[in-house]
Amino acid sequence: MNWESAKSWLIAAFFVLDLILAWQVVQSRQEFAGYRESYPDLLANTKTLLSEHGLVLVAQVPTDHPEMAFLDAVAATPSVTDLGAAAFGHAGAVRVAAGGKQLTSSVGVLTRGQAGSWTVRYTVPRSLQNNEVQSGTEFLWQGGAYQWDNAQSPTQPSLPALPAQGPDVSTLWAGVTQVLDQRYQNFPLFDVTATLYIQNHHLLAYRQQAVENLHPVGQPKPILTAIDALDNLANVVDKQVSQADNRITSIQLGYVHKAPQTLSQDVTLRTPNYWFPVWQVTTTGTTYDINAFTGEVLTSP
């Protein structure tokens, strides 16, 4: 074989070798691009990371993470007579006082508070059916828009005071408190709540907040997964200040009315009126709101 022929064979051999190596590289990249860590592995890694920061995950971790948008809304302004109709029904002897901010009936007193909030205290407790929470919503203004939030608990075991007792007086009691959230498309607004005070299958009082004209602002955008949110939480929690029993008992996706530090530049928002998506993580000691767009961790009041 002469040199020219040998050189041609050598060039052909290198060409074939290059093709083989190129194919292996392409195949390797395709396999890498198609690789996704399994959900059980991701969850196990997250549990380990949380435990390293003093948190124990006992709650079910949601797997859905739909695209969501900011919400715009305003404080609800129903008339005191509409509120009284919901709270007292056809009770007689209705009297409006305090410049339209208070309504007194034969079964209780309704007092309007700050914008979008009011309190009802019954002098004749309202009887509830077996499903006390669902039955209690019948006495709320637009009660069908509220659903039970089993992760929330009252800040004080006390009843709203009757007007005659003065604004700073509360009545201790031995009942239970149930918290409900106003909903938008089945997502809770965590800071728009109704609190029911129940004892012996009777509704003694309630506090209600409400917003209206709820509508999305801008286009829905992808949000973090619940696992990503938990990873972000673990990275900001100080293990040294964690409680000995600091279990994560609830993980919910919803909205809060609080301005995030970072906003998308293509969305114009009026700060007082909007809610943004969060993963709310409740532990035995603290409730955290994790911005579902940015991962910023905020502590709920």
Number of other CB atoms surrounding residue 274 within 10 Å: 18
The pTM of the full predicted model, rounded to 2 decimals, is 0.78
CA distance 285 to 2: 85
Longest dimension (CA), the chain: 119
pLDDT at residue 4 tops 70: no
Q: What is the pLDDT of residues 125-149, one digit of tens each?
A: 999 887 778 889 999 999 999 999 8
Q: Which domains does the chain have, with CATH numbers?
A: 39-70+216-299 (2.40.128), 77-209 (3.30.310)
Q: What is the pLDDT of residues 27-86, one digit of tens each?
A: 545 444 444 568 888 889 989 999 888 899 999 999 998 999 999 999 999 999 899 999
CA distance 26 to 142: 60
The residue among 122, 198, 189, 120 whose CA lies nearest residue 154 is 198
Which residues on adjacent β-strands are paired with residue 177? 197
What average pLDDT does this structure show over 201-219? 92
pLDDT of residue 160: 59
Determine if residue 185 is left, alpha or beta; phi over 0 gives left, psi from -120 to 50 gives alpha, anything else beta.
left
What average pLDDT does this structure show over 21-27? 49
Inter-CA distances, 112 with 104, 166, 169, 233, 290, Å: 12, 15, 17, 38, 32
pLDDT of residue 284: 86
Tokens of 88: 């007292």
CA distance 55 to 253: 20
CA 159 to chain CA mean position, Å: 25
